[in-house]
A and B are shown apart, each in its own frame.
Chain A
């Protein structure tokens, strides 16, 4: 069973701090990785995706991928209370054309 694992949290950080969210995956054939934010009762919205080893930055968000360790992370700088949500990590494998989601990490940014 191909899996994506995340710590369910909640992860609590003070406003203005860096939030670090982590994800591991089991399928070495996974090619792309996605981070979604999901507010309660809403559908997920894409934050960013990454497919090359290293870092990818977009505004306050940085995704990091380490294929050797099968590890993906998302850093949120200058965290705001509006960032409080569940963050879903997903992998995509072109061979199966499917996305596999982790269970999500709940982030709480404390004002």
Chain B
């Protein structure tokens, strides 16, 4: 149980375009979903926390207009990177937390490359 999927697993896009990443909890309802970014050889950096039906809470330094997060249902959250630039190239990982657990379950991640 507690499986989280992410799609796509890998995406290459051109500078200036937008990319949408989906995160789904497959066998549980996720009241909270988290979006992280990880640059090579660095740790996970929390970008934002989203609760179903509410606006996402962004971490300091993360541009909310650039990284649009929607948590439309208890099983789906999306991250849209708008007007992507090469410096946005990174490994984006979502996680989901059920209502009753302290644990968060990670998706497999999305490798974004902006050319």
Contact = CB atoms under 8 A, between A and B. Distances in A.
Contacts of A103: 42-43
A32 B32 contact: no
Contacts of A88: 43-44
Interface in A17-49: 31-32, 34, 36, 41-46, 49
Contacts of A99: 34, 46, 104
B103 A43 contact: no
B44 A101 contact: yes
**A-B residue pairs, 4 tightest by C-beta:** A43-B109, A103-B43, A43-B106, A101-B44
Interface of A: 31-32, 34, 36, 41-46, 49, 51, 88, 92, 94, 97-104
Contacts of A98: 46, 49
B44 A44 contact: yes
Interface string B53-69: 00000000000000000
B19 to A, nearest CB: 18
Contacts of B34: 99
Contacts, number: 42
A55 B32 CA distance: 29
Contact of B103 (A41, A49, A94): A49
A51 B44 CA distance: 22
Given A42-B108, A43-B93, A98-B49, A32 B102 contact: yes
Interface in B16-59: 32, 34, 42-44, 46, 49
Contact of B32 (A49, A97, A104): A97
B102 A92 contact: yes
A49 B49 contact: no
Contacts of B42: 103
Contact of A104 (B43, B93, B106, B109): B43
A100 B44 CA distance: 9
